Amino acid sequence: MIVPPLRPPSRRRRARLLALALPLVVACGNGDSGSFTFGKKSNSSPGAVDPELKGPVVVGAPKSPYKVEAVGAAGRVAGTVTLASPIAPADPAPTGPDSAVCGRTVADSSVQQKGTGLGNVVVWLDGVRAGKALPEEKRIEVESNSCVLTPRVQATVTGSAVNVLGHDDFRQHLRFLAAGDTGARAAVLLGKDEQVIPTELPAKTPGLVIVRDADHSWPRAYVAVFDHPYYAVTKPDGSFTIDGVPPGSYTLMAWHERTGRTEQPVTVTANGTQKVELTLKGR
């Protein structure tokens, strides 16, 4: 009998298998800058403090722990995020020695718009300290493919595993940085072969985590980490919904890498839908 050769597991399958046995990833410390710095490399000189760590804290540490409890007559917040005026993409970033792999330049992907709506805006309720259970799925992916990190913006809860997937044929030193920390939360080295590297370090505590390459100017992504489930990332048309909200008064927060943070008070009524329209000013 001829036994057919075993097929290697798929990329998704490998990610799941590796996430069950998280290896040690280099870590050097414990929100994020609202400034736009596309094309600017991370400061990785020995002993230097990365400028991202000194930026404004967008997602701060809560004053009290979040408690899961039954929510009676829950309401929701639904709305749209728009721009006061259009934001032009930044100039493409030159790739230099890696042009054979990435092309001569990499386009800016910071602005995702459909009509007047603005996508990739992190929206969350500040002040909710008790409510519905956290999401059961606690695993996200940051993928380097075609010389771009994707998704550009995502959100998750503390305790999540982050699978870093590499497909590009050049070396990257990805660092996970959050303003207010004393150092990078994690550092991941991607080589020339396809890789899946899992780590729980970036989502240990709340914060807006920047993912960037210490050696290349263009790779960039953001992971907003919360200790509660009342958050969303806007769709390309700017729409979002946050449901299961206990009735009460809160502060609706919104952040985009080209606008910084904006806040607006909201009141959620029993079984009601609080509709909001947020207009952000870009730079």
In 127-167, beta strands by DSSP E: 130-131, 139-145, 148-150, 153-157, 161-166
Total domain count for the chain? 1
For strands 220-226 and 75-83, give the pairing: unpaired
Q: Is the pLDDT at 195 greater than 60, yes or no?
A: yes
Whether residue 248 contacts residue 232, with contact meaning beta carbons closer than 8 Å, is answered with no
Domain assignment of residue 22, yes or no? no
Top-confidence residue, 76 or 12: 76
What are the pLDDT digits (tens) for 169-187?
889 999 999 999 999 999 9
Supply the pLDDT for residue 36.
42
Mean pLDDT of 264-282: 95
pLDDT mean across residues, the chain? 86
Supply the pLDDT for residue 191.
83
Percent of the chain clearing pLDDT 70 (strictly above): 83
Amino acid at 218: W
Mean pLDDT of 63-79: 97
Question: What single-letter DSSP state applies at residue 95?
Answer: -
The H or E element spanning position 54 is none
Reported confidence tier of residue 193, pLDDT bands at 50, 70, 90 = confident
Lowest mean pLDDT among 6-10, 46-50, 108-112, 121-125: 6-10
Q: What is the dihedral of CA 55, 58, 61, 64, to 10 degrees?
A: 150
Question: What single-letter DSSP state applies at residue 85?
Answer: S
Sequence-separated (6 or more) residues with CB below 8 Å from residue 76: 241, 242, 243, 244, 245, 268, 272, 273, 274
Mean pLDDT of 252-261: 97
Supply the pLDDT for residue 109.
93
On the 0-12 / 13-18 / 19+ scale of CB atoms within 10 A, 178 is buried
pTM: 0.84
Supply the pLDDT for residue 49.
76
Which CATH number belongs to the domain containing residue 109 in this structure? 2.60.40.420
Supply the pLDDT for residue 48.
65
Chain-centroid distance of CA 123 in Å reads 12
What are the pLDDT digits (tens) for 213-251?
999 989 999 999 999 999 999 999 999 999 999 999 999
The radius of gyration of the chain's CA atoms, rounded to the nearest angstrom, is 20
Domain assignment of residue 241, yes or no? yes
Cα(219)–Cα(272) distance, integer angstroms: 41
Cα(16)–Cα(20) distance, integer angstroms: 7
Mean pLDDT of 14-36: 38
Domain assignment of residue 12, yes or no? no
Cα 260 to Cα 40, 62, 68, 113, 281, distances in angstroms:
18, 20, 30, 17, 9
Phi, psi of 113 (to 5 degrees): -130, 150
Q: Is the dihedral of CA 77, 80, 84, 90 positive or negative?
A: positive
Reported confidence tier of residue 116, pLDDT bands at 50, 70, 90 = confident
Supply the pLDDT for residue 86.
87
Domain assignment of residue 13, yes or no? no
Domain assignment of residue 67, yes or no? yes
Lowest mean pLDDT among 38-47, 120-129, 149-158, 213-222: 38-47
Supply the pLDDT for residue 70.
96
Query: What is the extent of the structural domain holding 61?
Result: 27-280
Supply the pLDDT for residue 233.
98
